[in-house]
Amino acid sequence: MYPDAREVMTGMTTMDTLENLGQWSTADAAELYQINAWGAGYFGISDEGHVIVRPDTTDAAEIDLFEVVEGLRKRNLTAPVLIRFSDILAHRLKHMHEAFATAMSENGYKGQYAAVYPIKVNQQRAVVEEVYRYGEPFDFGLECGSKPELLAVMALTTETPDRLIICNGFKDDAYLEAVILSSKLGRRIIPVIENYDELRMILKHAARYDVRPRIGVRIKLSAEGTGRWAKSNGVKAKFGLTASEVLDVFNVLKERGMEDCLQLVHCHPGSQLNDIGCVKEAVGELAYVYAELKQMGAGLQYIDVGGGLGVDYDGSQTNFYSSMNYRLQEYASEVVYRIGSVCDEREIEHPTIISESGRAIAAYQSVLVFNILGRCGLDELGDEVITRQLGEHAPQPIRDLIDAYISVNERRLLECYHDAVQAREQSQLLFRLGYLPLHLRGLADRLFAATCQKVRALASKLDSLPEELLALESILSETYFANFSVFQSLPDSWAIDQLFPIMPIHRLDEAPACKGVLADITCDSDGRIDRFVDLSDVRHTLDLHALRDGEEYYLAAFLVGAYQETLGDLHNLFGDTHVVHIHLHEKGGWWIDEVIRGDTAAEVLEYVQYDVRGLVNRIDRDGEKAVRDGRLTLRESQILLRFYESELAGYTYLEPEVTGAD
Ligand SMILES: Cc1ncc(COP(=O)(O)O)c(C=O)c1O
């Protein structure tokens, strides 16, 4: 009746098999995580199986990321930690400059190029200061999108008043007064009029302080963008002036004999432009506005093509929203060519081209490294021997699950999978109704998982996978608990499904053992990552190594330097992580230039209006009461108070266990 009905679950995966055969190499890891595709030359894998950072994209200088993390741990800077590679930032700026220089020389363009870094992309003082410093040889400037951003920029530019400052965003009277005062201080600053009323306020302050202002106008382009930020353009765009409003601005200035003050036209075609087609359309339209106004007598000198230059987060070089179907050089060439050809056609001088690329400058420099705290997966059968006899007296769903498990073969894959799904549902129903004991409910779960594993192993040999079986990857994936907060450190992953490349930073000479998803340490089921980069699609699991007792397992999220830091929030009061700036040393190796320690518990509590001293006093009083009532000894109450105070001064993330006596 029960031919060869004995089967033992081995739990072996394809990866284990590869490892056992000794075939795994770091080249396989590079292929699996696609590091060469999204890394853009900045990241690679060493023979030792560690992620390496190549700040200038060549192997002339390399930094071992795992070695950096270990070095930080020895300095009591435990994960999670955000590592900024300042030399990558410097390289990005040089790369931008060179791309435009090449495009200009190839197209016979006679004007200049300057990038202005939009500080909203990452306003952290250390980042803005570095961008400003590394951008100096190229005369790059800064862009502000709000009054507070301008207040910072005003002070940062005291020594270099000639470097351009562009002011975008909603502007009130005081914002525009600050702009005019900055002009008075000698800054080369251009407020970009985004709505008509701003002109009145600019003129008011210019008259009051006797300043001849430089003025820009933001054009509401008719061409709509693509991707997530498509609505930055088109007639319904939030910002910008219509064609007739632009003419009104020009006419008002002309009436006052101030047409020379209109010096810049601007557009912003949206962020993360994934299709070069929209760059062509937007820049072409802007160039015609420029040419028309110039021919009418405006004092135009600058054409500002806004931001939007993408980052190829998944490395696929496609028009997928996390990618882009063009490279920096193509972008620069398109911008230069479109502007140059319109100006040549209208026989006007080539203007200075400005771009406000933020993401493309800032993303690559930062890497968020976090450790894995533990994992949970589906219950496994272990060494249990499963026979049909085992289920002889069991309720029907258990018998069905045993049958499904034993019967899995290549011809009946889907059928067995369906049987298992149905039987498991029935077993759960029986349990909820009180008819199935807990141990059989546990057996049902383990049988279901084991059946799925067998189905997946056989299915991997098929040429094409039935669609329903695609779900097996997620069903069988493990959950790895990661010591960070998605809401604080990768808010775009949660809010807009942004994909960031994530992978282990060590053990890459070892085949990963399983597929998993990541759950962060917030008490929120949304605090997880189950979408990962892939060249042709989105992966729903990440290949991960088995955890080893007493050994940290580190993963990193890459390309996180743009938008993530200040958009992050304090969910569950997990604060800013530690941040370190790592520099290449001229004699080889690396050094730590700056350490910004992560928020302490006291800092995040103060941020949400707790009086931390008051909290300590309350615990002190409570301890005294406990001593009086005999619940604590005096010594214990002192230990408690010291513990409370030191935790207030401690990191908000999970820290390694303290071993040894108090
Ligand atoms: C006016 C303006 N300029 C520049 C940028 C920077 O864009 P990105 O980071 O995509 O280059 C933005 C961002 O949306 C923006 O609104």
* Residue range 381-439, pLDDT digits in tens: 766 777 777 777 889 999 999 999 999 998 888 999 999 999 999 999 999 999 999 99
Span 162-185, pLDDT tens digits: 999 999 999 999 999 999 999 999
Where the chain has pLDDT below 70, the residues are: 1-22, 224-237, 382-383, 660-662
N-terminal to C-terminal alpha carbon distance within the chain = 65
What 8-state DSSP symbol labels residue 219?
B
pLDDT at 235: 60
Ligand 1 centroid, distance to 311 Cα (angstroms): 13
E strands in 346-420: 352-355, 366-376, 385-386
For ligand 1, atom 13, the nearest C-alpha belongs to 271
Ligand 1 centroid, distance to 16 Cα (angstroms): 46
In this structure, the answer to whether residues 389 and 335 fall within a common structural domain is no
Q: Are 293 and 248 in contact (CB under 8 A)?
A: no
In a domain, 126, yes or no: no
Q: Which of 364, 394, 415 is the last residue of a domain?
A: 364
In this structure, the answer to whether residues 325 and 422 fall within a common structural domain is no
In this structure, the answer to whether residues 155 and 224 fall within a common structural domain is yes
Alpha-carbon distances, residue 22 vs 230, 511, 546 (angstroms): 49, 9, 17
pLDDT at 475: 85
Amino acid 219 reads I
Ligand 1 centroid, distance to 229 Cα (angstroms): 10
In this structure, the answer to whether residues 194 and 321 fall within a common structural domain is yes
In this structure, the answer to whether residues 334 and 415 fall within a common structural domain is no
Amino acid 37 reads A
Mutate which of 271, 309, 364, 564 for ligand 1? The one with the most ligand atoms within 8 Å of its CB, which is 271
In a domain, 54, yes or no: no
The residue range of the domain holding 633 is 612-648
In a domain, 345, yes or no: yes
pLDDT at 227: 65
Measure the CA–CA gap between 499 and 501, rounded to whole angstroms: 7
Ligand 1 centroid, distance to 238 Cα (angstroms): 14
pLDDT at 239: 82
In this structure, the answer to whether residues 320 and 392 fall within a common structural domain is no
Ligand 1 centroid, distance to 177 Cα (angstroms): 24
Closest ligand 1 atom to Cα of 563:
9
In this structure, the answer to whether residues 267 and 348 fall within a common structural domain is yes
In this structure, the answer to whether residues 223 and 332 fall within a common structural domain is yes
For ligand 1, atom 6, the nearest C-alpha belongs to 307
Q: Which of 473, 500, 520 is the last residue of a domain?
A: 473
Measure the CA–CA gap between 360 and 363, rounded to whole angstroms: 6
In a domain, 550, yes or no: no
What 8-state DSSP symbol labels residue 533?
-
Closest to 274 measured CA to CA, from 307, 343, 228, 333: 228
In a domain, 159, yes or no: yes
Ligand 1 proximal residues by C-beta, below 6 Å: 118, 121, 168, 268, 271-272, 306-309, 356-359
Closest ligand 1 atom to Cα of 271:
10
Angle among Cα 503, 507, 513 to the nearest 5 degrees reads: 75
In this structure, the answer to whether residues 382 and 345 fall within a common structural domain is no
- Within 10 angstroms of residue 439's Cβ, the number of other Cβ atoms is 8
Percent of the chain with pLDDT over 90: 84
- Within 10 angstroms of residue 348's Cβ, the number of other Cβ atoms is 14
In a domain, 552, yes or no: no
Mutate which of 117, 120, 146, 279 for ligand 1? The one with the most ligand atoms within 8 Å of its CB, which is 120
E strands in 320-440: 352-355, 366-376, 385-386
Measure the CA–CA gap between 510 and 15, rounded to whole angstroms: 10
* CATH code, 352: 3.20.20.10
In this structure, the answer to whether residues 254 and 347 fall within a common structural domain is yes
Mutate which of 265, 268, 361 for ligand 1? The one with the most ligand atoms within 8 Å of its CB, which is 268
Closest ligand 1 atom to Cα of 310:
10
Ligand 1 centroid, distance to 412 Cα (angstroms): 54
Span 227-260, pLDDT tens digits: 665 666 666 667 899 999 999 999 999 999 999 9
What contacts 79, CB < 8 A, 6 or more positions away?
Answer: 69, 73, 369, 370, 371, 483, 552, 554, 653
Closest to 363 measured CA to CA, from 557, 565, 561, 82: 561
Ligand 1 centroid, distance to 46 Cα (angstroms): 35
For ligand 1, atom 14, the nearest C-alpha belongs to 271
In this structure, the answer to whether residues 157 and 230 fall within a common structural domain is yes
Q: What is the pTM of this model?
A: 0.92
In a domain, 158, yes or no: yes
Ligand 1 centroid, distance to 268 Cα (angstroms): 7
For ligand 1, atom 12, the nearest C-alpha belongs to 307
* CATH code, 469: 1.20.58.930
Ligand 1 centroid, distance to 541 Cα (angstroms): 31
Structural domain total, the chain? 3
In this structure, the answer to whether residues 327 and 461 fall within a common structural domain is no
Query: What is the token pair recorded at 639?
Result: 């230990």
Q: Is 78 left (phi over 0), alpha (psi -120 to 50) or beta?
A: beta
pLDDT at 389: 73
Q: Which of 308, 330, 364 is the last residue of a domain?
A: 364
Alpha-carbon distances, residue 565 vs 150, 340, 607 (angstroms): 19, 37, 17
In a domain, 584, yes or no: no
